[in-house]
Structure 1
Amino acid sequence: MSTLAPADRRKQPGSATRDPAGLCAAVRVAMVTVLTSLPVFLPGAANGLISAEFGWSSIRMGAILAAYWLASLAGAFASKRADSPLNGEHTLAMALCATCLGLLSAALVPVVGLWVSSILGGAAYGYTQPHTNALLMSRCAPRLRALAFGMKQAAVPAATLFASMAMPVLAGPAGWRPVFAGTAVLSGTGSALLIRRAPSYKRIPKRAGDRGTPLRNDAFLMALSCAGFFGAMVGNGLGGFLMVALTARGASLAAAGAVATAGAALNIGVRLAAGWLVGRLPQVAWPALTGLFVAGATGTALLASNAFAMNAVGALLAYGGGWGWAGLLHYVIGLPYDGREQQATAHSQMGVSLGAAIGPLLCGLLFNTQPVAAWWALTAAGLAAAGCVVSARTFAPN
């Protein structure tokens, strides 16, 4: 059994003089994560408007959203087989360019473009996530790496909040297409800025003794990838069906929206707080990761109740714990593999992407027959994720 502690790392040329702590890199990664997440969250927020305009069923829109996560799975797989780039900013810029093209196609030719946007955006997101993990490890000071991972993953629920607020505020008077087009412009602008700001690096050959822990498809990687799979089922199932469940039980749309918004805000706070805590007390990483999954499972179990108060508490626990683990999981799986974090976290990203696609589909099937069963299924998934973390700790490289 091992105790996690930040590994020492050689500073790359040119990085220390510009940003010794790596905070600027962490902020850039977080902003890119927000933008590359929008191809899945904007269609979800605009689901009612799009379906009403084209007469689409919820199944068709669900398939479009699932396409994003399946493309993300393919992107993460490709990243696992790719070498770490000399310049991470170039990779991020290309991802934003693909996101821009996808969102523009969704705005201009929605019937085809929404599929294109999901596929391009998902592939860009999945491919860049392991790269940005490696970038954070190499650019950020050891004491700030866990917090940087929390910042990056907090960008995902921040994207959901942006999409949820943009639709009623902007789509009401202008329609949903300008919202897609506007975010495409933001992505294109970000791509251009990253290309201009990208520093140049020279690859320094590593000595044989500097290669860190060998990367194998071992039990450690498999267990944490499975934890990401089960955890993503919980998070994305929750995001897709919480509002529907609350309103079906008699809660007003305003009350359900308030609960969902509070949960998303708490989720952001938990991801940041977990990173901050582990950065100062590395030994709490494993208990914190296990505890988050257990808290999330407790929350989804409370959502099986018919009492609104229990549902509200359950939603907060489910959002905070059942979806607050993401940054910590990628940090834990990458830390033992100094210099190969990209390949290591590609495994966890593949698990997360697959779970994100399957979770909502499973919930959708169960909600059509027995809605309470969906929450018990997510509870089982949360407990399975916690069990995977416990197993992974016994296999952790020394």
Structure 2
Amino acid sequence: MDTPNPLAHGNRLQRAYYRWALPYYDRFGHQDPMLRERVELVDVYLYSRRGLGAWAAWLLCLFGGAAWLHGGGMGLAPALGVPTLIMVGLSIALLGVWLRPQQKPTRIVGGLIGGALLGSVSVLVAVSFGWGMQGKSLGLSIALQALSASAGTLIPLGLSFALLLVGVARAGRAARESQLARLQLVAERDAAARAAAEADLRLLQAQIRPHFVFNTLATLQHWVDRRDERAGPLLRELTGFLRRSTELLGRNTAPLADEVQAVRHYLAILSARLQGRVQGEVHVALGLETEPLPPGMLLTLVENAVQHGLEPKIGDGRLRVEAGREPNGRWWLRVDNDGLGLAPDVADDVGLANLRQRLRHHFGERARFMLQARAEGGTRAEILMAP
């Protein structure tokens, strides 16, 4: 179901029923997720105030049929037993065609024939029991008379039952088709949103990284012309950065270790270009190297910190990337800088808005992103991941 089952938070009886039914819900969910949803919807209807009318109608038919049979001379016990069998069978049949509307019509017809035979046998048993209570024996002629007398009731009831089953089956098929269409629409929306998020990320990287690469190439060319010994290390870092960045873009998720390696190359290039004015350090706790992230996410946070916090700052700046895990299993990823800090009217740029959207699509409610000012100056960007 799209929303939590209200029976799980209802009164004491509803909660007890939900705990009892939960293993069966899970079993249905393994067979067919849509079947579980339909079963839960039926239970929510029947075991809440909305279902009181259905229960009242069911009991009214039961006791009305019992009163009619008892008034016709049948004993009290069989008069209650026959309508009970009929109502239980009818309820099971209706639930069956509602939950499994895709079953073949021949099965429904077979069920109707079986129901008619069961009803005939039930009448014979009830009449036999009633006559036995009166000390009489049931002969063949009396049995045939009982069947012929009941045919005037069983045939219209059987036809009505058949029409009801067919109607419920058609309604169930329509509901299932609507359910499939709704799920398909949700899947298409999610896929479109994810594709848009990935496209925005690539657009952002296309806007930022060529600028960064061109500046680095200009510095590299200058050092090569001057035969500066720093050119060789800078070229190696640039090659590593481009290789890592290209590999990350082709994945759905990337381990934190690969993200960190791309960031190390980026910080080394930045430190060389700015002649040590920006210093960066990276610390990742053991065991977090394989944690998945959307590709390029950590690099986006670092680039954002440099572009908006450290580059405009006069003087030296420091950037620290840190990842750790809490005792409850939650882990976090932080990017701290001592740059200019947050502006009073700060708002997410394209990169951060894209980051929030990608976290939501990949991890749902498990992930949370925060951007806040640090007490000692600068800005902290933090991603919290629930276990």
TM-score (normalised: structure 2):
0.21
- Greater fraction of residues in strand: 2
Higher relative contact order (CA closer than 8 Å, sequence separation 6+): 1
